[in-house]
A and B are shown apart, each in its own frame.
Chain A
């Protein structure tokens, strides 16, 4: 088998797998940030509701 272009194939694998894994990590961070903000707002709304009640 000819392996002279193995480096090219390796580069493609790193780019494809790296992009997909990187995208998931970025989305995990975004999700974490959004959930944190939502929890904070729910907490505040809970406080306001109990103050009103």
Chain B
């Protein structure tokens, strides 16, 4: 007999830890983060980066899992890998949407305009649109087996855009960029530690969300295949 996801002790502990870390992180960002040198916008606008950048890194992490799950699914044919890939694609796209929403809010505060057609913004938008295509393929790609196989291939190919987003600042000259060129490594330890703390919270949150989604996909599979033992 299957139990609800949050009736498991491990899930409850993880949720409690993430909630505590999220509240503590918000307090740390509000109270202790100084102004970042070399960045546009006042200190309140800069605080947006403590949520915008971890969302972007979480997107990359989730899409990396999609790629690994895609390879494993094509190699083994085990549907559990397909669920892992689909769950990670959903969570990655959710965080990618957050990147595309929070970015323009910061842009409006720092640059005075929410969007400019500069490399990192465009490559991130392309990444989001590729994964919109991924979900369309899953929805309208024909038979389940074929859609699962094709989306696994797309998930592997789509990951190519993730490092492109990351290095897009180096591909083009600084004049074509609107993104800050400041490196996190060159900042004060306070900024770095708080950033890493929020980043860990986001990473744990994404792992928890992916696990929850996999649980629901397995429940749905149980329902569809009629494999629901008494």
Contact = CB atoms under 8 A, between A and B. Distances in A.
Q: Is the interface of B mostly helix, strand, loop or mixed?
A: helix
Interface residues of B, number: 39
A35 B2 CA distance: 8
Interface string A15-42: 1110110011001001100110110011
A4 B216 CA distance: 43
A2 B228 contact: no
Contacts of A37: 223
B42 interface: yes
A16 B44 contact: no
Nearest to B3: A35
A34 B221 CA distance: 10
B203 to A, nearest CB: 13
Interface stretch (B102-110, B128-136, B148-156): B102-110
A39 B44 CA distance: 50
A41 B228 contact: yes
Contact of A5 (B109, B220, B226, B229): B109
B4 A5 contact: no
Between B22, B94, B223, the greatest number of chain A beta carbons within 10 A of the residue's beta carbon is seen for B223
The 6 lowest CB-CB distance pairs between A and B, nearest first, are: A2-B42, A5-B45, A5-B44, A8-B109, A5-B109, A34-B219
Interface of B: 1-2, 4-5, 22, 26, 41-45, 47-48, 51-52, 55, 94, 97-98, 101-102, 105-106, 108-109, 205, 209, 212-213, 215-216, 219-220, 222-223, 226, 228-230
Interface of A: 1-6, 8-9, 11-13, 15-17, 19-20, 23-24, 27, 30-31, 34-35, 37-38, 41-42, 45-46, 49
